[in-house]
Amino acid sequence: MLSEDCVIILDDDYCIAGFNEATKALLGWNEQGLIGRPFESIYCDPSTQRPFPFSKYNAIRRGESFNFNYVMHRNKLKRYMTWKFTNQSNCAPFIILGKDNTDKKRLALQNITIFDQIKKISACVPGNFYWKNKEAQYLGCNQTLLRTLGFKSVNEIVGKTDSDLWPVYAEELRKNDEKVIKNKNPILFEETVTLNGKTMFFTVIKMPLLDDEGHIIGILGNSLDITELKKAQADLNIAKEAAEAASHAKTEFIANMSHDIRTPLTGVVGMAKLLEDNVHDANQKQYAHWLGESGKQLLHMLNGILDVVSADNAHEDDLHEESFNLHEVINDIVQLERPSTLIKGLDLVTFVDAAIPPFLVSDQTKIHRILLNLLGNAIKFTQEGQVGIHVNLLEKNETHVLVQFRITDTGIGIPQELQDKVFDRFYRIIPSNKGTYTGHGVGLHIAQSYVELLGGEILLSSELGVGTTFYFDLSLEIGCSLQPLSIHITDGLNTEVAQPIETSLAESHRVEQPKLLLVEDNKIALYTLENLISQSQCRFYQCHGW
């Protein structure tokens, strides 16, 4: 669009007597083509438009001024012009001022097309869909929004603003509209409104509406009613809190009952041991032994249940991070499980990457328990071949290392369809009444809980009849560089581990016989303790509450 308006001078016969450069450039006529031509001939196209009415010329002679719009045609180019007649007298020359509105007209037609398309789309959009102009006036909406507002016709909303529809929220809505127009980016937010006395929640998205040239011509908006979803979330939170409270109550109950259950059970085991040691009849000795073994199994099962409860309720606050020697942890586990591997004739293979610093910082107790559970499981289900612990360095920087732990075996393997279940609480692949394997199905669940607590994820790969590998990665802080006490174990282990120091209780007694104070409110447990300590030739004093 040119910045300069057209100026045309007409003579007394309404023919063109003169014009400015803007007219020539805009209309595409040269001077010879325009001078002397009737004014109406430069725009009149009989096939598409009626001629200029001569009544307007009569109005010009009366000195009247008025505007009118006509389409100009030249070289098959259509331009939309607004002409203004200005005449101070009823005689020539007559001056006409022309303004080119082609771009505005084209944009208006384009916008009409855009809004028509939006109107068609709105019928298919879920939620309260609407569109506005740049002045935040509503231009249209879908039937869902009309129902939400209680309107029957779209005419009830067209031309209105948020101030007209919901003045309480108008200021906040206006700010959101301005943000979209300013940044030319969509925004997503939640809003809470009260309609007809009912509080409703909506997820709202607003986005700029652009023309073909990238200019903002309005705003598109859609608000999805999430009131029922919010209610469901609130109900879910209430149910979750109730479940957590019930779980906490269960945990407290088990923790409180554990002492009451464990104490008499320990008494049964202790008394069975005393009977076995003191009776001379072979049958009675066997009965006492069976009684003690049954008590130990019950005690072991109780400890397993308590361990599961403890693992399921462990949080980051329960982590006790300290600097520890990884080699010593591996060695301790090996020493604990070596008798089992020797009995079954299994090779126990260990490997610790030499690039791993000897001292690391983490919860040593939980890492020890994880590896012990996994290795014990591997030994249980392996009848021949080998089991192993492998520790490899994956990444290392100045402060941390990423370490992978792998526990392998050549055992029976785990079927593919059951591999997702082995970490469930109390799950056993082979039920106790159908197999020879003992246990309560808690070891892998505890290992998984502790690995996740330490920030890792335990995985497995297994093939029936070939073996199983459990593995997990942990990011561990590098600990202080203390000098480890370590020697090489030469009985087939591929690692340097610390040699445990053995000191007999009898030797320590020779130095100084201790005096013990026994405090116990259970008679059976106290009597059992007295007998055990008497066998160690220690002096003691007792204190009870009965």
Question: Which has the higher per-residue pLDDT, 41 or 461?
Answer: 461
Task: Tell me whether the CATH fold assigned to 6-107 matches the one assigned to 124-230.
Answer: yes
- Write the pLDDT tens digit of every residue in 163-182: 988 888 888 888 999 999 88
Question: Which has the higher per-residue pLDDT, 303 or 289?
Answer: 289
Q: Give percent above pLDDT 70 in the chain.
A: 78
**Does 489 score more than 60 pLDDT?**
no
Q: What is the pLDDT of residue 253?
A: 75
Q: What is the pLDDT of residue 352?
A: 93
**Does 491 score more than 60 pLDDT?**
no
Give yes or no for a contact between 130 and 142, defined as CB atoms under 8 angstroms apart. yes
Measure CA of the first residue to CA of the last residue in the chain; give whole Å: 107
Q: What is the CATH number of domain 124-230?
A: 3.30.450.20
DSSP secondary structure letter of residue 50: P
**Does 483 score more than 80 pLDDT?**
no
**Does 51 score more than 80 pLDDT?**
no
| Strand intervals (E) in 280-319 | none
Q: What is the pLDDT of residue 467?
A: 92
The H or E element that residue 332 is part of is: helix 326-344
**Does 187 score more than 80 pLDDT?**
yes
**Does 76 score more than 60 pLDDT?**
no
Question: Which has the higher per-residue pLDDT, 342 or 312?
Answer: 342
- Write the pLDDT tens digit of every residue in 493-533: 444 433 333 434 344 445 567 788 888 777 777 777 787 78
Question: Which has the higher per-residue pLDDT, 278 or 496?
Answer: 278
Domain coordinates in residue numbering, the chain:
6-107, 124-230, 236-310, 316-478, 511-545
| Superfamily designation of domain 316-478 | Histidine kinase-like ATPase, C-terminal domain (3.30.565.10)
Structure-token pair, residue 167: 């003045």
**Does 53 score more than 70 pLDDT?**
no
- Write the pLDDT tens digit of every residue in 402-437: 999 999 999 988 888 888 888 776 666 655 445 555
Q: Give percent above pLDDT 90 in the chain.
A: 21
Q: Which of 33-37, 263-267, 358-362 has the highest mean pLDDT?
A: 358-362
Q: What is the pLDDT of residue 507?
A: 45
The mean pLDDT value for 90-116 works out to 74
Q: What is the pLDDT of residue 316?
A: 59
- Write the pLDDT tens digit of every residue in 122-160: 777 888 999 888 888 998 888 888 888 888 888 898 889
Per-residue confidence band for 103, with pLDDT thresholds at 50, 70 and 90:
confident
Give yes or no for a contact between 136 and 162, defined as CB atoms under 8 angstroms apart. yes
Side-chain half-sphere of 154: how many Cα atoms within 13 Å?
Answer: 16
Question: Which has the higher per-residue pLDDT, 436 or 186?
Answer: 186
Per-residue confidence band for 74, with pLDDT thresholds at 50, 70 and 90:
low
Structure-token pair, residue 99: 């303004």
Sign of CA dihedral 102, 108, 110, 113: negative
Selecting from 1.25.40, 1.10.287, 2.160.20, 2.60.40, what CATH number does the domain 236-310 have?
Answer: 1.10.287
Spell out a b/e string for 69-108, using b for 16 or more CB atoms within 10 Å of the CB, else e. Answer: ebebbeeeeebbbbbebebeeeebebbbebbbbbeebebe
**Does 366 score more than 70 pLDDT?**
yes
Q: What is the pLDDT of residue 68?
A: 65
Q: What is the pLDDT of residue 371?
A: 93
φ, ψ dihedrals at 223, nearest 5°: -120, 125
Selecting from 3.90.550.10, 3.40.1790.10, 3.10.20.30, 3.30.450.20, what CATH number does the domain 6-107 have?
Answer: 3.30.450.20
Question: Which has the higher per-residue pLDDT, 99 or 406?
Answer: 406
DSSP codes of every residue in 213-249: TS-EEEEEEEEEE-HHHHHHHHHHHHHHHHHHHHHHH
- Write the pLDDT tens digit of every residue in 297-333: 777 677 766 766 666 666 655 678 889 999 999 998 9
C-alpha–C-alpha distance, residues 100 and 81, integer Å: 5
Q: What is the pLDDT of residue 475?
A: 93
**Does 456 score more than 70 pLDDT?**
yes
Give yes or no for a contact between 341 and 379, defined as CB atoms under 8 angstroms apart. yes
Q: What is the pLDDT of residue 302?
A: 73
Q: What is the largest CA-CA distance in the chain?
A: 149
Mean pLDDT, all residues of the chain: 79
C-alpha–C-alpha distance, residues 112 and 124, integer Å: 20
